[in-house]
């Protein structure tokens, strides 16, 4: 059975007080939050057949050009797993507080669990798994037909664009690609204006996303980190809640 850690009473009380005092809260979420819903990280998902491949072959423009059918099959298998997953208590607590106008959400996750929990406006720094677009002309395709289970072939030809006939790709940021400019600008602006940032379930090593907590600190915001383990951002945090997001966030955000 997985270990579920609960926050210490003194730490949770302090965090709750800061949350009540805050005028503008930004939540910066990462893979640890989705992992509690059963979604593995990119590299953790490379099991079985997929373990043979270098990550950059499955998530780079070069890999797409070399073998789009392999890359599309990999992402279709990931999409099926995300569809099976459900938002956890951490997602729901964030959605409830965001609905009340207390916080804004910036995520490194490409899944749609924040939205399915009820969040209306999520800034996705690394793109969105289901926001398919043409790799040639950029046209968005929201109605791509996908297999109903994770039992997908090892290679699967991507569908064609209805506008130009190019190959449709996942709407995620691959190795070697820039973050979506609009998403980054929005995230940076919200971060600079917040007085409290909740850093939830991220290792803090993926750049440039990991610059956001540094930017928040530079503008005078308090940083609360929610993570069962220490991360690259722990020393930056004013308070580290050593607990899982699904356990800690309902307690902290009930304030």
- pLDDT tens-digit map of 14-36: 999 999 999 999 999 999 999 99
Work out whether strand 239-241 and strand 196-200 pair parallel, antiparallel, or are unpaired: unpaired
Is the same domain home to 122 and 150?
Answer: no
* Summary mean pLDDT of the chain: 90
Domain containing residue 51: 40-84+131-172
Q: What is the pLDDT of residue 148?
A: 67
Mark whether 236 and 188 lie in a shared domain: yes
What percent of the chain stands above pLDDT 90? 75
Can you give the pLDDT at residue 42?
A: 63
Q: Which of 1, 3, 42, 39 is nearest to 228 (CA)?
A: 3
In order, the DSSP letters of 110-145 are: -SSHHHHHT-S-EEETTEEEEEEEETTT--EES---
- Does residue 138 sit in the same domain as residue 15? no
pLDDT tens digits along 136-159: 999 999 888 787 666 677 889 999
In the structure, what pLDDT confidence band is assigned to residue 4 with cuts at 50, 70 and 90?
Answer: low
In a domain, 251, yes or no: yes
Within this chain, do residues 209 and 152 fall inside the same structural domain, yes or no? no
Are residues 150 and 240 both part of a single domain? no
Distances from the Cα of 217 to the Cαs of 58, 151, 198, 223, 233, in angstroms? 35, 45, 12, 7, 11
Same domain assignment for residues 202 and 252: yes
Q: Is the pLDDT assigned to residue 2 strictly greater than 50? A: no
pLDDT digits (tens, 9 = 90+) for 200-215: 999 999 999 999 999 9
Please identify every residue annotated as catalytic: 126
Provide the domain count of the chain.
2
C-alpha dist (Å) from residue 163 to 134, 166, 220, 236: 9, 8, 48, 47
Q: What's residue 153's pLDDT?
A: 78
Average pLDDT of 203-228? Answer: 96
Q: Is residue 65 part of a domain?
A: yes
Distance CA 76, CA 72 (A): 6
- Domain-located, residue 1: no
């Amino acid at each position: 059975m997985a270990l579920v850690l609960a926050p210490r009473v003194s730490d949770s009380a302090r965090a709750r007080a800061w949350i009540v005092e805050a005028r503008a809260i930004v939540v910066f979420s990462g893979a640890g939050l989705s992992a509690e819903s059963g979604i593995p990280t990119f590299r953790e998902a490379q099991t079985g057949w997929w373990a043979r491949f270098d990550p950059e072959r499955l998530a780079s423009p070069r890999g797409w050009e070399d073998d789009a059918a392999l890359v599309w099959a990999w992402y279709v298998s990931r999409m099926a797993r995300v569809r099976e997953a459900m938002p956890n208590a951490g997602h729901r607590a964030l959605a409830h507080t965001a609905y009340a106008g207390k916080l804004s959400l910036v995520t490194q996750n490409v899944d749609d669990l924040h939205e399915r929990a009820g969040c209306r406006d999520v800034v996705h720094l690394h793109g969105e798994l289901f926001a398919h677009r043409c790799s040639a002309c950029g046209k968005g395709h929201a109605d791509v037909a996908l297999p109903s289970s994770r039992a997908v072939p090892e290679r699967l030809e991507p569908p064609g664009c209805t506008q130009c006939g190019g190959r449709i790709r996942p709407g995620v940021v691959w190795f070697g690609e820039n973050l979506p400019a609009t998403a980054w600008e929005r995230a940076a602006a919200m971060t600079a204006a917040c007085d409290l940032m909740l850093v939830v379930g991220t290792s803090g090593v993926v750049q440039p996303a990991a610059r956001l907590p540094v930017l928040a600190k530079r503008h005078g915001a308090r940083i609360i980190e929610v993570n069962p383990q220490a991360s690259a951002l722990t020393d930056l945090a004013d308070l580290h809640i050593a607990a899982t997001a699904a356990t800690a966030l309902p307690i902290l955000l009930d304030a």
